[in-house]
Amino acid sequence: MAGFPYRFPGVPAVSASPSRRPHASQVQKGLTLHPRVRNVIAVGSGKGGVGKSTTAVNLAVALARLGARVGLLDADIYGPSVPMMLGLSGRPESPDNKSIEPLRAFGVETMSIGYLIEDETPMIWRGPMATSAMTQFFNDTLWDDLDYLLIDLPPGTGDIQLTLTQKIPLAGAVIVTTPQDIATLDAKKALKMFEKVEVPVLGIVENMAVHTCSNCGQIEHLFGDGGGERMAAQYGVPLLGSLPLDIGIREQGDAGTPITAAAPESPAAQAYLRAAERLVEEVAKRPRASIPILSSLL
């Protein structure tokens, strides 16, 4: 694939040699690895409004900055936002009327229902139809030998989320929350959901953790302080990072150029980069998959 992975000025690329690329991780019992993806990671939250999709997009771009081969599946059928945040539009191509070519931006391969519908078209689908569409996207997209495929799950812990985590082979999950108690309360439910389906939680990302006033420089914890850290300690999972409440993150997401691409040296982008580094470390701790996959991934 020409031009992949995307390179950022001043950021050294990680070696893509077989000895340096991540191993394919063990997945849930009864499921087999995707032949073109080494590690599938679900990004979930117990509720909406905590910045899960923004976190998933910026983590994906940050992983690409580290030299990894990365994909992002937008599984939020009812509110797909990945196309807008990556500045992508247009219908994906199908070379054989069965499989689908992903769209690409900033070194990240992507697939979303948002590429197939108009912006204002509501998806009035029941759960089984939505989960069927997502599993089809997962299986039929022509992912190109990925190290990591992030799946941006719909918010909550309902039937769609549960079914997807039972049908898609996952190396682990990342939970996004804000520090406030009402958010961590729901995030704990997401953590318990992953436990029930035997998907290890690789870590917690605490979003909107701190705000620095652009006028006076005062630091404020608008959504509380330390909620994600306390949750991580309570359940014995890593805190991958505490991300700032920064207007640049919102502005760049709306503009279609994530802050990790638009301003890679900014404090906000660096926070995502550190979280991505810790995520890579946690995936490296996972047991290797015992099921053979295509030789190109070995």
Domains of the chain, start order: 38-286 (3.40.50.300)
Q: Which residues are 174's β-sheet partners?
A: 43, 203
Residue 163, pLDDT score: 86
Judge whether residue 20 has pLDDT over 60.
yes
pLDDT tens string 280-292: 999 999 999 975 5
Residue 120, pLDDT score: 65
State the pTM of this model.
0.87
Residue 9, pLDDT score: 39
Between 2 and 177, whose confidence is greater?
177
Pull the structure tokens for residue 117.
Answer: 């519908």
Over residues 57-68, the mean pLDDT reads 97
Q: Which residues are 66's β-sheet partners?
A: none
Residue 284, pLDDT score: 96
pLDDT tens string 89-125: 989 999 998 899 999 999 999 999 989 877 666 666 6
Spacing of C-alpha 253 from chain mean position = 15
* Residue 35: φ, ψ to 5°: -65, -15
For the chain, give the DSSP string. Answer: -TT-S---TT-PPPP-STTTSPPPBP--TT----TTEEEEEEEE-SSSSS-HHHHHHHHHHHHHHTT--EEEEE--TTS--HHHHTT--SPPP-SSSSSBPPEEETTEEEEEGGGTS-TT------HHHHHHHHHHHHHHB---SEEEEEEEPPSSSSHHHHHHHHHS--SEEEEEE-SSHHHHHHHHHHHHHHHHTT--EEEEEEEEEEEE-TTT--EE-TT-SSHHHHHHHHHT--EEEEEE--HHHHHHHHHTS-HHHHSTTSHHHHHHHHHHHHHHHHHHTSPBP-S---GGG-
